[in-house]
Amino acid sequence: MGQSRPVVKSSLWYQVGHAYREILDVLLHSPAAWVFSACWLLSLAYLLLAGYARGIFLSVVLVLLIAVLSLLTIPLTVNVQPVSYTLVSKARLWIQLGIVMFFVLLTGYEGLFTNGAIAVQSAAPSFMMPLILFLTHLPSAAINPLFYFVLPVLFLLPTGIRWHAIGFAHGYRSWAVTLLWCVPMMIVIIVALFVGGTRISTLALALLRNSLNNGFFEEFLFRGVLMAILIQLLNRRWGIVLSSLLFGLWHLGTNTASFGGSLLAGAAFGIVSQAAIGLGFAIVVYRTRNLLASSIIHVMLDVAFI
């Protein structure tokens, strides 16, 4: 009788299977995963009970697409070595977190004020009010580069943070992951061009606007620095989950305006939609080691679906 072949544990299929088993274990046993799931389900339940089912249908479909793409990212990045962070003290990490959270809160409050969700004097800390009012007078094209990237970098570099730790490490399969995620978005864009009546000039302007404003700069603030600092302070799972939830709530101003001024509906939608999308982006950044793929995907997603 012929001898059966031994299982080669280093084979790609074994590694992919092991990666998926690890994900299942995380979903079943990780407190971070349970917290995110509970927040998402409770937010979805509130929106449905409050009568917003029609308004969130497309977002839920999009979240399901993000979940599928996140799972398909695993085989493409199966041998990835996570970014190694420069050892710094806990005190420095807390200082870094304080710096990043200042810019997250500042720009988040500005979004609430700009979209008419609150009067700036009613909720913002007094020391932030002059800055928030200053932001409202800046050209929109200047706010994101300055307050999501340039100023955070200027304050963070003296604390010992390094470029490779904030989204600029050597990438791993970044272009393959970008292609995987962008294919369905390109299909939506092409359909919109030929069926929906969208003009190429309109599409080009949307692409330019989102490239200069939303893509890289939002990714840097939330996945480049916030997630990296939380991972070092807590662990990988909590870093990914908390940065994603904050990303969802950070969109409170825009979401509240979309839901007729309801802050609660705006917060719930942020968790159902942007937090879940942010979780997908966080997985992309963690698996590709830098911000290249998530920045391009972010732009293409905004152009195709938002």
pLDDT score of 223 more than 80: yes
DSSP string for residues in 155-169: HHGGGT--GGGGTBS
pLDDT score of 183 more than 70: yes
Q: Is the pLDDT higher at 304 or at 232? A: 232
pLDDT band for position 124 (cuts 50, 70, 90):
low
Q: Is the pLDDT higher at 263 or at 210? A: 263
Residues with Cβ within 8 Å of residue 169, at least 6 apart in sequence: 83, 289, 290
Please report the pLDDT score of residue 8 as a whole number: 45
Percent of the chain with pLDDT over 70: 92
Mean pLDDT for the stretch of residues 102-108: 91
Here the contacts of 163-168 (C-beta below 8 Å, separation 24 or greater) are 164/83, 165/83, 165/85, 165/86, 165/228, 166/220, 166/224, 166/225, 166/228, 167/219, 167/220, 167/223, 167/224, 167/225, 167/228, 167/285, 167/290, 167/291, 168/224, 168/290, 168/291
Segments making up each domain of the chain, as ranges = 12-305
Question: Do the beta carbons of residue 125 and residue 112 sit within 8 Å?
Answer: no
Query: Across the chain, what does the average pLDDT equal?
Result: 87
pLDDT score of 151 more than 90: yes
Please report the pLDDT score of residue 202 as a whole number: 80
pLDDT score of 96 more than 70: yes
pLDDT band for position 245 (cuts 50, 70, 90):
very high
Please report the pLDDT score of residue 2 as a whole number: 47
pLDDT score of 64 more than 60: yes
List pLDDT tens digits, range 265-306. 999 999 999 999 999 999 999 999 999 999 999 999 988 876
